[in-house]
Amino acid sequence: MATTASDSGIGASVLRKEDAPLITGQGRYVDDIKLPNMAHAAFLRSPHAHAVIRGIDTAAAAAMPGVVDIFTYDTLGLEAGVPCASNPFGNAKQPKRPILADGKVRMVGELVAVVVADTAALARDAADRIVVEYDPLPVVIDAENAGKPDAPQLHEEAPGNHCLTIEHKTEGFDAVFDAAPVKVSLTIDNQRLTAVPIEPRGVVADWISSSGELTFYTSTQVPHFVRTFVSAICGIPEAKVRVVAPDVGGGFGAKIDVYAEEFVLAQVSRLTGRPVKWIETRSEHMVATVAGRDQLQTATLAADESGRMLALRVHLLQDCGAYLALLTPSIAHLTVIMVPGAYALEHVDITLDEVFTNTTPTDAYRGAGRPEAAHLVERLVDRLADELGKDPAEVRRLNFATEFPYTTATGLLYDSGDYAAALDKALELSDYAGFEARRSEAAARGNYRGIGLSTWVEICGLAPSAVTKAIGIGAGGWESAIVRLHPTGSATVVTGSSAHGQGHETSWSQIVESELGIPFDQVDVVHGDTGQSPYGLGTYGSRSLAVGGTALQLTCGKVRDKARLIAAHLLECAADDLEWSGTQWQVKGSPERAKTIQELAYAAWAGDSMPTGVEPNLEATTFYDPPNFTFPFGTHIAEVEIDGETGKVVVERYTAVDDCGNVINPMIVDGQVHGGIAQSIAQALYEETVYDESGQILTGTLVEYMIPSAAELPRFDTARTVTPSPSNPLGVKGIGEAGTIAASAAVVNAAVDALSGIGVRHLEMPMQPGRVWEAIQQAKAGN
Amino acid sequence: MGRTISLTVYGRRVEEDVEPRLLLAQFLREQLGLTGTHIGCDTSSCGACTVHIDGEAVKSCTVLAVQADGAEITTIEGLARNGELHPVQRAFYAEHGLQCAYCPPGMIMSAAYLLEQNPNPSEQEVRHGLEGNLCRCTGYHNIVNAVLAAAKG
């Protein structure tokens, strides 16, 4: 890897170039866009979780002043359903989800009609005047009941509400499992969550009828996917659709989907001939944006008396919600393949069942299937240690995979790792050895104190395109980059990844500075606009640096190689006689004979003195398909204190040692870790999306759905080990989801450890005070 | 329909007709074009819309525009003076206190008010002082660092 010693190249904690407009109120989010003659859309949504629509009367609403038009399924003119682009082994039932309800609704919040009006308030008022006659149907809201013989049926195409089953069992499992002397079991409800980026979703669709062109501003992680699907569903040539993701206020996976509202907005702009805006309210977000998790897990881990893990049997029951969103069926499949975690476990027997219920669809939420896997195996390891009376750190160490590349029982090839190094560092930083004194000190105050580990590993760098095809995802996993040098020596980078807070403009500029010697401040990074960038697959799954960053690095290499030919021509020497200094091509042994990259950019632009067969200008493009995934890992240690009287759990200390391979910007990496941990502590302690028996959401606003504030969270002590990935030349792995994958298990393990002395063996998430208090009372009563 | 209100928005006198039901947050964004103030919820939970009204930090979605008649308002756009960033803005940049940046306009306004009330807060005072502002990206770690750094100057 070519690097330059500088304050702003690879490895430096450079402050973000994105920030200046964002801290002064000059960011540009979708809701900040105002176009001439722009109208506003509001949706009428189903108040029922399951019902037949007998009639829709829009007359009174349509007569209101300021209403432009109202559309239902019959008048919108979109026949196709909302797309699902994943089908892990080709046998998932994929019932159609009409873009507006076609005679039936299957969840609260389903779109029934859309009003276009001169203002957002008028559109909302008119939507409330639409009269819909429903015949309510029986409702099923949980996955366990969905499969029962008398359960209400959601889709004719999916008998028994069954979507798919995946089974993975290693040869010889039964003999090893049956003969194992030690077995521990757990049932875990990995509860439903809602993503809640602070910027809700939003769209401005701008159709120009004379040219047949659609410009489409949307708050998304995947602008090119949006273009492809809007083109396909609305019947507009893809070349005539430009999708722009302006500043995007967080995504967390929920903005990977291409939503019904987006197709409606494109279509109503076409039908009304006006630009149309829609901004999701938070209440809409809670019912209309995909949820995460919602996986019921039952597992038995078999081991020997020394604590060596021998075989793991797992059943996963995934709630898909009422329909399949873009990647719904594949999320729990990621759980299946990551169940072995960091351990050299030879035998697994995993069954995954996915079912439909009358709830909002589930799909990717930060971590997407991997937090569920890590939580399960990390809880099981703790149960095993407890059963054997051994130190959970040592049981983990005994079972770590140690030889890399390592092929797991689920067929993955872990690229590199040193799990014990991360564990040791975390044990030291957290003062694990000194914990018992802190436990005693808390006990003296009437509180329970516990410590918990999570030695996580995850799969990133999505993905080799042949693999995405093989696991039924309808898109490749490559990424694109352009590097364009200007005659005055600055550079424009165009990336197909689509940042929404991750700081790509900064990290990508650091890569260019190190690879081409163009100063950080002289690099401009363009992203999130299909009108400017080659096709890119977007930002999710902690993939951007490992795939998009590598595409950029390779492109810099192409530019550098071409510059070398030009330099050789200008210096009248052979290209082989030149060496790269970090900023210029120079003659070996005579560094005063040199051409800087800026001089070469100018010469290439002038074009009058080019070597034979070399095109003018310095610009290159790469489409990079990775050869393998990457597998970041680490150890997180949570220390909690539980109020003995109220059951309130407080995270007092949190230590995270993560290994994401080589690091481009340590400051940004730490920031990603902090945010991920916070979201996962939130799952452990606070957040849960709840429905009542009739399918009404009980957590429909941020009053009921508890996002923690600064007052509920601790400081995070972060550190790293560095084990470069052999899967890409940058040696990077990915860090965006690490905290979310690691933390929930560490926190629950700590809470269970705190209460293990009174006999508590398991706690369900979220560990709200009432639930923990009950566990304490039951344990005391049982003693 | 509406009534006329007049108010001062960081030194600039404005007079506008407003609908009685219009929230101050919407008024600032839609009628004055000051889109730095963000809206992130329906329930005054997230604090993204925090502005200063007569020197006090207020969630502008909890106030009707007509209630702000006669008031002096400062939004994120008006926090920097004469091209100089406010110390809290500088600290958010220096401490990596923002990622997606949807919450910082409100968070920065709350933090600036917090430091006016308590120029030398403890970490716990900062955490409790900001509990009306939600961030989904940073885990608050660097936000808290930024506010403490701004206090030190």
Q: Phi/psi of residue A498, each to 5°? A: -140, 90
For A288, the token pair is 């209309």
Q: Residue A252's pLDDT is what?
A: 98
Residue A684 Cα, gap to closest chain B Cα (Å): 14
- What is the model's pLDDT at position B129? 98
Residue type, A491: A
Tell me the C-alpha distance between B10 and B82, whole Å: 12
Candidates B141, B142, B143, B144: best to mutate against A (most CBs of A within 10 A) is B141
Contacts of A299 (CB under 8 A, 6+ apart): A185, A186, A187, A188, A312, A313, A314, A315, A376, A380
Interval A421-474: pLDDT, tens? 999 999 999 999 999 999 999 999 999 999 999 999 999 999 999 999 888 888
Across the interface, of B89, B100, B127, the residue whose CB is closest to A197 is: B100
| A715–B123 CB contact, under 8 Å | yes
- Average pLDDT score, chain B: 96
φ and ψ of A284, to 5 deg: -65, -40
Q: State both tokens at A656.
A: 């995270």
Amino acid B53 reads I
Q: How many CA atoms lie within 13 A of B89 on its CB side?
A: 21
> Does B143 reach chain A within 8 Å, measured CB to CB?
yes
Q: Which of B9, B26, B37, B42 to mutate to test the interface with A (most CBs of A within 10 A)?
A: B42
Are the CB atoms for A129 and A113 separated by under 8 Å? no
How many Å apart are CA B29 and CA A670, to the nearest integer? 33
The residue-averaged pLDDT of A121-147 equals: 98
- A713-747: pLDDT as tens digits: 999 999 999 999 999 999 999 999 999 999 999 99
CB contacts, 8 Å: A710 with chain B:
126-128, 130-131, 133, 135, 140, 143-144
pLDDT of A1 above 70: no
Candidate from A199, A247, A671 with C-beta closest to B40: A199
A196 contact residues in B (CB cutoff 8 A): 136
Q: Is the pLDDT of residue B10 over 90?
A: no
Q: State residue B140's pLDDT score.
A: 98
Q: ω into residue B20 within 30 of 0, thus cis?
A: no
Interchain contact, B38 vs A199, CB within 8 Å: yes
To probe the interface with B, which of A31, A33, A40, A198 has the most B CB atoms within 10 Å?
Answer: A198
- Of B26 and B2, the one with more pLDDT: B26
Chain B (26-65) residues lying within 8 Å, Cβ to Cβ, of chain A: 29, 33-43, 45-46, 48
pLDDT tens, A235-285?
Answer: 999 999 999 999 999 999 999 999 999 999 999 999 999 999 999 999 999
Q: Are A464 and A625 in contact (CB under 8 A)?
A: yes
Composition of chain A by helix, strand, coil, percent to 5: 35, 25, 40
Q: Is the per-residue pLDDT at A310 higher than 60?
A: yes
Structure tokens at A507: 């990290």
pLDDT digits (tens, 9 = 90+) for A18-76: 999 999 999 999 999 999 999 999 999 999 999 999 999 999 999 999 999 999 999 99
Q: Assess contact for A695 and A359: CB atoms under 8 A.
A: yes
- Nearest CB neighbour to B134, from listed A198, A247, A715: A198
Measure the CA–CA gap between A385 and A399, rounded to whole angstroms.
Answer: 12
Average pLDDT in the A99-106 region? 98
State whether A25 and B35 contact (CB < 8 Å).
yes
Structure tokens at A533: 């960038």
% of chain A exceeding 70 in pLDDT:
99
Cβ-nearest to A678 among B34, B94, B140:
B140
Q: Using the beta-carbon criterion (under 8 Å), do B45 and A121 form an inter-chain contact?
A: no
Query: Which residue in A has a C-alpha nearest to residue B138's C-alpha?
Result: A675
Element (H or E) spanning A667, and its range?
helix A666-685
Please report, as a single letter, which amino acid is at residue A101: A
Query: Does the distance separating the beta carbons of B143 and A252 come in below 8 Å?
Result: no
State whether the Cα torsion B104-B107-B113-B118 is positive or negative. negative
Does the ipTM exceed 0.90? Answer: yes
Task: Find all residues with CB under 8 Å of A689, minimum gap 6, and list them.
Answer: A191, A192, A193, A194, A286, A291, A294, A360, A697, A699, A705
DSSP label of A575: G
d(CA A718, CA A697): 37
Contacts of B128 in chain A (CB under 8 A): 710-711
Q: What is the pLDDT of residues A482-499, one digit of tens each?
A: 999 999 999 999 999 999
Question: CA A291, CA A314: separation in Å to the nearest integer?
Answer: 23
| pLDDT value at residue B1 | 58
- Spatial separation of the C-alpha atoms in residues B21 and B17, rounded to whole Å: 12
* pLDDT of amino acid B2: 79
- The residue that leads in pLDDT, A134 or A475, is A134
Q: Is A710 helix (H, G, I), strand (E, B) or coil?
A: helix
pLDDT score for A783: 66
Please tell me the predicted confidence (pLDDT) of residue A5.
45
A633 DSSP β-pair partners? A457, A659
CA quadruple A305, A434, A739, A723: dihedral positive or negative? Answer: negative
- Point out the residue among A198, A502, A671 whose CB comes nearest to the CB of B142: A671
DSSP string of A635-654? EEEEEEEE-TTT--EEEEEE
pLDDT classification of B153: cutoffs 50, 70, 90: confident
Give CA–CA dist A657/A634, Å, rounded. 5
Judged on CB neighbours under 10 Å (0-12, 13-18, 19+), A290 is buried
pLDDT by residue (tens digit) across A580-636? 999 999 999 999 999 999 999 999 999 999 999 999 999 999 999 999 999 999 999
Q: Does B122 touch chain A (CB under 8 A)?
A: no
- How far CA B151 is from CA of A686, B123, B130, in Å, comes to 31, 11, 14
List residues bridging with A659 in a β-sheet: A633
| Mean predicted confidence (pLDDT) in A297-318 | 98
**Does B43 contact A500 at a Cβ distance shorter than 8 Å?**
no
- Cβ-nearest to A282 among B34, B41, B144: B41
From residue A296, give the alpha-carbon distance in Å to each of A87, A188, A320, A764.
21, 6, 12, 11
Q: Do B101 and A23 touch (CB under 8 A)?
A: yes
Which tokens sit at A239? 């070349």
Partner-chain residue, chosen from B89, B137, B141, that has the shortest CB–CB distance to A23: B89
Asked if A52 and A137 touch (Cβ cutoff 8 Å), the reply is yes
CB contact (8 A) between residue B89 and residue A716: no
